[in-house]
Chains A and B, each alone.
Chain A
Amino acid sequence: MPAGEAQRIVIVGGGQAAAQALQSLRQGGFTGSLTLVGDEAALPYQRPPLSKGYMKGEVEQERLYFKPSAWYDDQNIELLLGTHVTKIHRASRQVQLGDGGHLTYDYLILATGSRPRPLPVRGADLGGVHDLRTLADVERLKPGMVAGRRIVIIGAGYIGLEAAAVARQTGLEVTVIEMAPRVLARVTSPVLSEFYAAEHRRQGVTILTGVQLSHLEGIDGQVSAAVLADGTRLPADLVLSGIGILPNEDLAKDAGIACSNGILVDRDARTSDPHVFAAGDCASRPLVHFGRSGRLESVHNAIEQGKLVAAAILGLPRPVEDCPWFWSDQYDLKLQIAGLSQGYDTHVIRGDPASRRFAVFYLKNATLIAVDAVNSPAEFLASKKLVMSGAKLAPGALIDTSTPMKDIAAQAAA
């Protein structure tokens, strides 16, 4: 089927990538039938606030929605919420639904997202043990978030640390345990790890790194403690697990679509089946600025791939593949990350961490590949451009705070 002639598009999943694909398809002029099948009951919503403002109770649920329900009617989009897709029949181009029905597609978009990695210990099924991924997770967690209670957070990644900040600000006693020797070990450098660990401790959070969870103990089905491998017993009224996510690729895999830690896609977000696309957390994509492929768990990635899918289906020019970016809010610290730091050979710090405003630049072969910018938006935005440009940079120039970042970026572009 030539691009632009599709009549029926089905999207599986109701997160950021799905919402973007819907918008871009309609904006791009697609007038055929558009159906979104999502297993959550809520209208498509933004996840970042779940571990931030929404968890704190500062944001009402309806403000999380990408679009009000009227928009879907206006745009003639069919929403099948609270509905599972159980199987893809590629030969007949149909998806089978949990209620036994099926939908026929010209193009299928898998925006199935990811799910929390399950806690592999005894007691993980006790009451009071939570994940943090969906609105429903937060609704279950919130009533227990009461000042004075004790929460043990398993995993010191962004989700764990953002939740720790909210819990602490809500007045809970917070302990974070982490298997790796430092917090944020999987995603950033020791400089950032030390800064964030120190900040959380200053705020009164207990951080234990290099420790192994043995099991969870309970009383009458409710969690009462987390027990470490060395026998240490951490009393807990609540346990929150944040040990990473796994891509929801089974639907694709079962249908014989190529997967390898994510559904494999090309630059247009197309899978090994030309009628099936995948976008967002579930997809493993070419990372064109980094010369490799991989899965990115971020808002920006979901938005970008949603746009890529729509453009490919409509036969429009491929949108720019931007420098990947991320953010994390903890206390009054806004961390903005541009690029991917994995594989850096040099890092330099601009500004003073003690001032709570600084940036860590990561270089590989004298080219900037990433920045972690704390309360430093200029460093973040300039770095997005610098990473895309691939310009050679002297590390000394980056840390000269007498030269504004804007000038550094302009000089590199010249």
Chain B
Amino acid sequence: MAKITFISHNGTERTLEARNGMSVMEVAVNNSVPGIDADCGGACACATCHVYVDPAFLALAGEQQEMEKSMLDFAENVKPNSRLSCQIKVTDALDGLRVTTPESQH
């Protein structure tokens, strides 16, 4: 289990309990966190679950695969801490993770 805090582009925060093995995207969608579309449902096919990860957690959030890197390259307002949230698996190590959602996925 891990507690994850989602911060919307306007600063609103929500902290949620996340089960290990789920993706950060699934945690957000199941709890109707705004700003994440996740049209493909987590297949890394659509790049609509873009988030910014607290830099302190970047290494713990796991390696980016080639596919994700290329997809992110086309997202809007990409930063060094950009990730596709469907590709981040929840683990105990992510307890306290803070992610910021962008204003729009398009």
Q: Mark A302-339, 1 if CB is under 8 A from B, else 0.
A: 01000000000000000010000101010000101000
Flag the segment in A114-122, A212-220, A377-385 that touches B. Answer: A377-385
Give the chain B neighbours of A49 by CB distance below 8 A.
41
Of all chain B residues, which has the CB nearest A26?
A: B32
Q: Are B32 and A336 in contact, CB atoms less than 8 angstroms apart?
A: no
Q: Are A329 and B43 in contact, CB atoms less than 8 angstroms apart?
A: yes
Smallest Cβ distance from A271 to chain B, in angstroms? 25
Smallest Cβ distance from A88 to chain B, in angstroms? 30
Is residue A46 within 8 Å, beta carbon to beta carbon, of the partner chain?
A: yes
Residue in contact with B74 in the complex, picked from A48, A66, A329, A381, CB distance below 8 Å = A381
Q: Are A334 and B41 in contact, CB atoms less than 8 angstroms apart?
A: no
Flag the segment in B6-14, B44-52, B53-61, B93-101 that touches A. Answer: B44-52
Q: Mark B16-34, 1 if CB is under 8 A from A, else 0.
A: 0000001000100110100
Cα distance A378–B32 when bound, in Å?
A: 29
Smallest Cβ distance from A70 to chain B, in angstroms? 9
Q: Are B41 and A299 in contact, CB atoms less than 8 angstroms apart?
A: yes
Q: Are B45 and A334 in contact, CB atoms less than 8 angstroms apart?
A: yes
Q: Are B74 and A327 in contact, CB atoms less than 8 angstroms apart?
A: no
Is residue B39 within 8 Å, beta carbon to beta carbon, of the partner chain?
A: yes
Q: Mark A357-394, 1 if CB is under 8 A from B, else 0.
A: 00000000000000000011110011000000000000
Residue in contact with B70 in the complex, picked from A46, A299, A377, CB distance below 8 Å = A377
Q: Are B39 and A406 in contact, CB atoms less than 8 angstroms apart?
A: no
Smallest Cβ distance from B101 to chain A, in angstroms? 15
Q: Are B74 and A378 in contact, CB atoms less than 8 angstroms apart?
A: yes
Residue in contact with B40 in the complex, picked from A48, A68, A71, CB distance below 8 Å = A48
Smallest Cβ distance from B85 to chain A, in angstroms? 15
Give the chain B neighbours of A375 by CB distance below 8 A.
67
Give the chain A neighbours of B2 by CB distance below 8 A.
none
Within 155-207 of A, Cβ neighbours of B (below 8 Å) are at none
Smallest Cβ distance from B29 to chain A, in angstroms? 8
Q: Are B32 and A300 in contact, CB atoms less than 8 angstroms apart?
A: no
Cα distance A300–B106 when bound, in Å?
A: 14
Cα distance A48–B70 when bound, in Å?
A: 22
Is residue B92 within 8 Å, beta carbon to beta carbon, of the partner chain?
A: no
Q: Are B71 and A48 in contact, CB atoms less than 8 angstroms apart?
A: no
Smallest Cβ distance from A364 to chain B, in angstroms? 24
Q: Are A67 and B30 in contact, CB atoms less than 8 angstroms apart?
A: yes
Q: Are B45 and A336 in contact, CB atoms less than 8 angstroms apart?
A: yes
- List 7 A–B pairs whose Cβ atoms lie within 8 Å, in order of A's numbering: A52-B43, A299-B41, A325-B46, A377-B67, A377-B71, A381-B70, A381-B73
Q: Which residues of A contact B (CB under 8 A)?
A: 46, 48-49, 52, 63, 66-68, 71, 299-300, 303, 320, 325, 327, 329, 334, 336, 375-378, 381-382, 406
Q: Which residues of B contact A (CB under 8 A)?
A: 22, 26, 29-30, 32, 39-41, 43-47, 67, 70-71, 73-74, 106
